[in-house]
Structure 1
Amino acid sequence: MFKNVTRVSAMALACLAFSVSAQKADVKATATAAATPPKAETPKTGPKPYKEVITDKAKTSKGLFTVHKIEDKYFFEIADSLMGREIMAVTRVAKSPTVPGSVGLPAYGGELLNRQVIRFEKGPENKVFLRAVSYINVSSDSTAPIYKAVQNSNVAPIAAAFDLKAFKKDSITKVGSSVIEVTDFFKGDNQVVSLNSLTKTIYKLTSPAADRSYIQNIKTFPINTEIRSVKTFNAIPPTPNFGGSPVPSPIPSVNLPAAATTGAVTIEMNTSMILLPTVPMKKRLFDSRVGFFANGYTVYDENSQRTDDQTFAVRWRLEPKNAEDAAKQKKGELIEPKKPIVYYIDPATPAKWRKYLKLGVDDWQKAFETAGWKNAIRAEILADNDTTISLEDARYSAIRYFASDIENAYGPNVHDPRSGEILESHIGWYHNVMKLLKKWYMTQAAAVDPRARKNKFDDELMGDLIRFVSSHEVGHTLGLRHNYGSSSTVPVEKLRDPKWIAEHGHTPSIMDYARFNYVAQPEDGVKDLYPRIGEYDTWAIKWGYQSLEGNDPEQDRKALNKQFIDTFAQNPRIWFGTETNPYDPRSQSECLGDNNMLASDYGIKNLKRILPNLIDWTKEEAQDYDMLTESYGEVVIQFRRYMGHVTKNVGGIYETPKTGDQQGVVYEVTPKATQKEAVAFLHRQLFETPTWLLDDKILSRIRPDAGVDFLRNIQEATLTSLLDNSRLARIIETSTRNAAAYNIDEFFTDVKSGIWSELRSHRAIDTYRRNLQKAYVEKLTSMLNPAPVISIGNIQSIDTRKNDITSVSRANITGLRDEIKANLPLISDKMSKYHLQDCLARIEKALNPR
């Protein structure tokens, strides 16, 4: 009984203690709550009243976008009518850091960094999205059901999202507009308006430095808005190399001096946002017989039973000013276009060269006249102090002058991917292109033109050469590709005829890489050695720029096809030979005439005239032999070009694109006689030692050796090319189709008999020929046991284990072994014997490996 009372009392005491403790806790919690202020409510997000965002402090300018600047912040006011409209964003370098060895990279003020079609659109949760638009698959009819299928499979990525800061609706026009802040977007590193990832990798740039990046200014115009920004990137300094070899990388890199000294790189950029037309220009469908750059996409049509890869030419929009002018043009009168093509000459260009760059542009006016336009193209020389035009502004095309040691110039364009309409172009002109022109002209023309026989050309001569390159690069910006086949339409002997040259020029196209007339001989009296805008060029401009009456591109295609067939029948000189054909000997870079062997013979005659004079033509007081070294090297390069021109005839296949309503075939085998002539040329001019190249007076001044290995390299490279598997496979293919064609056994016999002619004559074999013969043995023995072929993707390699190449190689090397054995006792020269014994041992080892 006592125990129970005690237990109850204990429980009562515990309850009392818990009650007191709970009361204390409640008092403490109440006191804490009283001491802590109530938690503030999260402010509502979303657009504010317009006047609260765009205050009286705003500096406002109106154009494509209305741009507001408030202190250091920038706002775009985007009209509802622009939502969903397509805009081309073009980002260029405005000012760059010093970039050594940057061929092929955007490195100089004015060069293109990035271009992307974009569009703004309203998103959920008070957002405005920026989408990056690509044209890969399209539907021809936005009202057809298939349009939805195309859209479902081609979603444009959202490249940026902006908070909707305010919305405004005009009380009179009832037009709405959305206000977004763009400060961080243009200061930052969004790829749409900055460097792409590959360029950053090559330049070793890492994260952007926000505290050292800013917007310089934003200017807006009726159809474009220009954003100038300064962006600083952290950069990886170059890795020290303590005498070891650098670790190879699949992606080459460029060491920037700024990265080495500060660990950061600053670049000034200009982004042009230019509104694309609501209605795209009517397309001109691509024709492989006319050399225009092209764009294209896959079209899904409701009424088609297959997809259509639609490809169209890239060209400027030229239109009559009004219906009256259009009627005049239709009657054959020349009219001025509503908007001519104008290029502005960079004020950074040295004053004495500006007029020649302008002439290179203006030379195209006559070509446009054939298309029905007068004053369609011109150049304007900007005054040094002209601030009314910015060359970064997308409304202006320009020839930009770069202070660079790169020996080049280039002519790109920015075009509307929907139609191929060229919007603007910036020709890149590197200062050192003049060095390249000097080397070319001395090597190809000094035998005929005395003005080319010195280290520094007169301004008039250099100006003429600049004019030629200017015309060539302008041609690219008009949409024209290289026409490597144009010069092949000219009979070689006509290149020596002054009257012919005066009338036609040495190539029908300035877009050819025909350079200068190296065929003309000193006694011919030919004075006109430069390329100029020719018959093909005027035809191509007419094809691309004449006004056509068809209601759609397909109707225009039919009209142009008939026009081409009729014109080509009258003048085959308008033929276009692509720059990408690997097996047509008519389409070659740096090549002249319709017979590569004859043209190269003439070219070598002139090189033999030039070489002995190089010491006198290049010497300068108190100077070393750098200029002699350079000029000699150019002669060697030109000689090697001739070898390449000739080699391409072997296993050659002519390709002449045609439509179904044209007569004749597309592919033809290079005639057997021409291929045999090519092999005979190589024996005569290269494999028989070209001792004239080994001028001791020159070599003893520029190099320590006698040129043995240097000549072996030329011979071996040509021999390797001659015995290339793809060439041999073409010979097999063509002789299978046509029994009268040059066959592989005959070809091998011709090559071997020339290279090993000493076996029949029993004369001594000199050092150069011994090296050539060893190279022949090594090449053929390597073909006896080829490695298995691994095909990668669509690239199919030739498996010589499964065709006649290995069989014929074995037969020829076996035959050579027997010839050496039979003739070795008849060779009296000791070094020749050693050489033949060595070759015999190599062949035996290859035929009977242990």
Structure 2
Amino acid sequence: MPASYSAAQTAQGVGVSGSTSVASAGFAQHTAGMKKQGGLFDIWTSQEQAKILMAVPQLDRPFLLVTSLPFGLGSNDVGLDRGQAGRSKLVRFERHGKRLFLVQENTRFIADSQNPDERASVREAFAGAVLWAGDILATEGNTYLVDFSSFLSTDRHGVADTLIRTRQGNYVVDEKRSAVLSQQAKNFPDNTELEALLTFAGAGDGPFVRQVAADPKSLRVHQHVSLIRLPDGYKPRSYHPGSGGLDSEQMDFATPLADSIHVQWQVRHRLEKTDPNAAVSTVKKPIIYYLDRGAPEPVRTALLEGARWWTSAFEKAGFKDAYRVELLPEGVDPMDIRYNTIMWVHRATRGWSYGNAVTDPRTGEIIKGAVTLGSQRVRQDILIAESLLAPYGKSSSAEKKNAAEQMALARLRQLSAHEVGHTLGIAHNFAPSRHGNGSVMDYPHPILGLNSKGEVELKDAYGVGVGPWDDFVVQHLYATFPGQDEETALANLREKAKARGLQYVSDTDSRAAGAAHPNGLLWDFGADSMKTYDQLMQVRQHALNNFSMAVLPPQRQVGELEARLVPVYLLHRYQTEAVARLIGGAEYEYGLAKDANAGRIQPGAKPVSAALQRQALQKIIASLRAENLALPKNVLAILTPPSEGYNRTPEYFSGRMNVVFDALSAVEAGAAQSSQFLFDATRINRLAWQHAIDEQQLGVNELFKQVFEQTWQRAEPGSTVLAGNTVQLAANWVVLDAVLGLIDNGRLHPQVQADVRQSVTELARWLQKNPGKGSIASSRQQAAELILSYLRDPASVKLRPLPPIPPGAPI
């Protein structure tokens, strides 16, 4: 426990039931006819009056406050999901005159010092917050009675702020249509659970609220509030940047001057062995997760199985019977802070799942793990599998339909394990896919290939069980080392993991289009990005050549064929990113200075080899050529406009041909997919610098010369490519728009921008000298004029953004 909290502040309990008498007339006159529940805070409830009175003993004693949403909005785009937990707040009651104030401490800034004046100096320097104030109804000794209803019936979860942030309009709580749900109140020795119905009134103009709400002007949400006894006796573990864990950060102004002011604790559950000196031991209190009873079969079984994968990791870390996953007991409130939950949550559209660890902000101890799994994702997995297997039509195949469902359930097992992993304190790691099933904390792409019959194989699309990286992280977060120095033991764990080839690349270094680390990849698979790219391109071509009515279940309207084309046509999207990551790529490790000094990590960033960068460039350029972008005749022949009563959604390609399928929009989306990675400013800046240091490396001028030669300057595609010239021109324009956007966005260094401007100037001159014929001539002339006009006066030219790309993630 940080020393900045006094013994009085960290004393266990903020009002144990029975510690103070509340039976006098003062309390009795206000609580007459109400139902009393003893617990952390004694409460009196009245369903008739829709209010809750609360007894507050021992002022100035801190406790934790957490909000959650028993009833959500149902919109993935807004993000107010059923079961969503908020952040924990360290709060306490103060008395000022005849009122009690609920005050939130500013736990981000502390002084971990024995000097009370030093602690006070930090507390006084940074603003806390007053969350609520209410009149004292009665006083008995050191215990105060207040009506807590007004706190519960205001927006404590930030619903209105979320609606504003997602551009759904301004909403306010309508007090007349909101009520405290006294019948939902529950009380226990260590936590008090309260709930209210909130009605948010607004204009109702936001597209996302209109999509999901019964009345977008009147949004009904339930807000749950948990008041929690302050945990005590927990020993935090320092966070290490190479651990793969999540951290809880504070600024400690009492650190020695040479030390960092930023103090980070590892986020983790409390897990104590019954025998602290044993290498393997049972635990005082196991970590138990409870699955939402609303999850149907076969989803329920898959989620239970996947979440249970972590059992083996805890066993390897020396904990026996320390981790379990069970179905939530009937009648138990999943919002109760005592239960770690896995919620099966419905939304109008597919979207991200997530794992939220509710923590003690002082130490990083996990109070509750709250997993949210979006129910629509499994349907997208089945859609992808059916689009690849084509199990319907005249030759309907029960075996293939079952294979599609089994692939989706395998993905659900992995997803369940992944999100639970976050609530155990584990971060994403996007490098383990280099080692097959290296970690459930990576984002897995289905492992696809063609079998000996030339058919798409899905049998082993997803791995089973946690991987070696997961075993390492659980050890680093939770293992104990009797008789050893903990810091040394953890350093040895990291060295062993590195010796096994385990690598860690975090979210921060993986998600950006211009990310540098070649192994920090989302949704990739395989040890060699270019080999896997070729493998997926083979699967993609096979699926396109066999795309037919057989990909669509018989009860679906034929217009949905287009939605099933999207994941097939863009099947290579993530491996394209993986290949692009090699261009201007550089490897590096996470660690501390002492790790580098001891030789445990290698400091610096090592560029990808010149040969590999050039090979990668050719792969990306090939993805911009008509041979890879053109759709085959069998696809174009069957694509049908949506039927009456159905509409295209963002899951479809955008179109400029009214209801008829727009093949050019598909081509443009494919070209934009490659262009957004290749022409990222940070990547181009790195290329220029790498080439400046080593002239053998791929440089900016060489990159643009190769791109333009094989797009705008290439010979006409062969007659075997359907509408080859038109397809190539569509891709060429996307390339040019991307390059001009690169120049225009202001993120290039001036000398790098000069090189890019020179490259497009030379392209313009070439286009003028080589006008071509027909539609090629028109495009070349217009492209040259656009380039020169923009270079002369950028403000006079309105540049086009890249074409929209239908969403791929999450899968």
Pick the aligned partner of 1:93 from 65, 69, 87. 69
Q: Is the 8 A contact 2:544 2:569 kept in 1?
A: no
Shift of 1:574: 4.8
Structure 1 residues 125-134 or 517-526, which shifts more? 517-526
Aligned to 1:651: 584
Alignment partners' CA distance in 2, 1:730 and 1:598: 25
- Go from structure 1 to structure 2 and tell me whether the alpha carbon gap of 1:312 and 1:698 turns closer, same or farther (over 3 Å shift): farther
State the secondary structure of the residue aligned to 2:150: helix
- Larger RCO, structures 1/2 (Cα 8 Å, 6+ apart): 2
Pick the aligned partner of 1:769 from 725, 728, 737. 728
1:136-155 equivalences in 2 (<5 Å): 136-143=108-115, 145-155=117-127
Aligned to 1:565: 495
Q: Is 1:530 aligned to 2:462, yes or no?
A: yes
Pick the aligned partner of 2:276 from 326, 329, 334. 326
Aligned to 1:206: 172
Aligned to 1:631: 564
Aligned to 1:809: 757
Alignment partners' CA distance in 2, 1:519 and 1:90: 47
Shift of 1:142: 3.9
Cα deviation digits, residues 642-699 of structure 1 (max 9, x gap): 3222222222222322432235333111211111111111233432432663344445
Identity over aligned pairs, percent? 19
Alignment partners' CA distance in 1, 2:229 and 2:397: 50
Alignment partners' CA distance in 2, 1:453 and 1:686: 36
Q: Is 1:516 aligned to 2:470, yes or no?
A: no
Aligned to 2:196: 229
State the secondary structure of the residue aligned to 1:656: coil
CA RMSD, Structure 1 to Structure 2 (Å): 3.6
Aligned to 1:429: 373
Q: Is 1:285 aligned to 2:234, yes or no?
A: no
Cα deviation digits, residues 694-730 of structure 1 (max 9, x gap): 3444454236356234213422453354233322211
Shift of 1:547: 1.6
Q: Is the 8 A contact 1:291 1:578 kept in 2?
A: no
Shift of 1:63: 1.2
1:593-612 equivalences in 2 (<5 Å): 593-612=526-545
Q: Is the 8 A contact 2:34 2:44 kept in 1?
A: yes
- Go from structure 1 to structure 2 and tell me whether the alpha carbon gap of 1:391 and 1:377 turns closer, same or farther (over 3 Å shift): same
Aligned to 2:230: 276
Shift of 1:306: 5.8
Pick the aligned partner of 1:59 from 31, 35, 39. 35
Q: Is the 8 A contact 1:229 1:269 kept in 2?
A: yes
More helix by share: 1
Aligned to 1:393: 336
Aligned to 1:265: 219
State the secondary structure of the residue aligned to 2:639: helix
Aligned to 1:668: 606
Aligned to 1:439: 383
Structure 1 residues 762-771 or 118-127, which shifts more? 762-771
Q: Is 1:336 aligned to 2:302, yes or no?
A: no
State the secondary structure of the residue aligned to 2:572: helix
- Go from structure 1 to structure 2 and tell me whether the alpha carbon gap of 1:834 and 1:91 turns closer, same or farther (over 3 Å shift): closer
Pick the aligned partner of 2:410 from 460, 464, 467. 464
What letter corresponds to residue 138 of structure 1 in structure 2?
I
Shift of 1:164: 3.1
Which entry has the higher C-alpha Rg, 1 or 2?
1
Shift of 1:416: 1.0
Q: Is the 8 A contact 2:430 2:521 kept in 1?
A: yes
Pick the aligned partner of 1:311 from 254, 264, 280. 264
Alignment partners' CA distance in 1, 2:182 and 2:778: 75
What letter corresponds to residue 682 of structure 1 in structure 2?
I
Q: Is 1:736 aligned to 2:692, yes or no?
A: yes
Alignment partners' CA distance in 2, 1:817 and 1:157: 60
- Go from structure 1 to structure 2 and tell me whether the alpha carbon gap of 1:510 and 1:440 turns closer, same or farther (over 3 Å shift): farther
Cα deviation digits, residues 202-239 of structure 1 (max 9, x gap): 46422422465233232210100011222334333449
- Go from structure 1 to structure 2 and tell me whether the alpha carbon gap of 1:64 and 1:123 turns closer, same or farther (over 3 Å shift): same
Cα deviation digits, residues 328-360 of structure 1 (max 9, x gap): 2xxx2x222211111222222214432222111
Residue ranges of structure 2 left out of the alignment (5+ in a row): 1-20, 642-659, 797-811
- Go from structure 1 to structure 2 and tell me whether the alpha carbon gap of 1:666 and 1:86 turns closer, same or farther (over 3 Å shift): farther
Cα deviation digits, residues 376-414 of structure 1 (max 9, x gap): 22111245xx22x22121111222222333324322221
Q: Is the 8 A contact 1:455 1:617 kept in 2?
A: no
Alignment partners' CA distance in 1, 2:196 and 2:691: 63
Shift of 1:765: 7.8
Shift of 1:61: 2.3
Q: Is the 8 A contact 2:384 2:568 kept in 1?
A: no
Aligned to 1:84: 60
Shift of 1:535: 0.7
Shift of 1:808: 4.7
Shift of 1:541: 0.9
Aligned to 2:148: 182
- Go from structure 1 to structure 2 and tell me whether the alpha carbon gap of 1:617 and 1:765 turns closer, same or farther (over 3 Å shift): closer
- Go from structure 1 to structure 2 and tell me whether the alpha carbon gap of 1:565 and 1:578 turns closer, same or farther (over 3 Å shift): farther
- Go from structure 1 to structure 2 and tell me whether the alpha carbon gap of 1:841 and 1:107 turns closer, same or farther (over 3 Å shift): closer
- Go from structure 1 to structure 2 and tell me whether the alpha carbon gap of 1:620 and 1:360 turns closer, same or farther (over 3 Å shift): closer
Aligned to 1:748: 704
Structure 1 residues 206-215 or 597-606, which shifts more? 206-215
Structure 1 residues 692-701 or 728-737, which shifts more? 692-701
Aligned to 1:416: 360
Aligned to 1:106: 80
Alignment partners' CA distance in 2, 1:718 and 1:401: 35
Alignment partners' CA distance in 1, 2:176 and 2:96: 29
State the secondary structure of the residue aligned to 2:571: helix
Alignment partners' CA distance in 2, 1:762 and 1:603: 24
Q: Is the 8 A contact 2:314 2:474 kept in 1?
A: yes
Alignment partners' CA distance in 2, 1:822 and 1:155: 67
Q: Is the 8 A contact 2:170 2:202 kept in 1?
A: yes
Aligned to 1:707: 663
Aligned to 1:362: 308
Shift of 1:748: 2.4
Shift of 1:843: 5.5
Q: Is the 8 A contact 1:50 1:166 kept in 2?
A: no
Aligned to 1:123: 95
Pick the aligned partner of 1:220 from 169, 187, 199. 187
Shift of 1:560: 1.5
Aligned to 2:681: 725
Alignment partners' CA distance in 2, 1:515 and 1:451: 25
Shift of 1:508: 0.4
TM-score normalised by the chain length of structure 2: 0.81
Q: Is 1:544 aligned to 2:488, yes or no?
A: no
Aligned to 1:31: none
Aligned to 1:680: 618
Aligned to 2:345: 402
Q: Is the 8 A contact 1:48 1:165 kept in 2?
A: no
- Go from structure 1 to structure 2 and tell me whether the alpha carbon gap of 1:820 and 1:526 turns closer, same or farther (over 3 Å shift): closer
Alignment partners' CA distance in 2, 1:342 and 1:740: 56
Q: Is the 8 A contact 2:41 2:56 kept in 1?
A: yes
TM-score normalised by the chain length of structure 1: 0.77
Alignment partners' CA distance in 1, 2:423 and 2:614: 41
State the secondary structure of the residue aligned to 1:326: coil
Q: Is the 8 A contact 2:290 2:342 kept in 1?
A: yes
- Go from structure 1 to structure 2 and tell me whether the alpha carbon gap of 1:297 and 1:320 turns closer, same or farther (over 3 Å shift): same
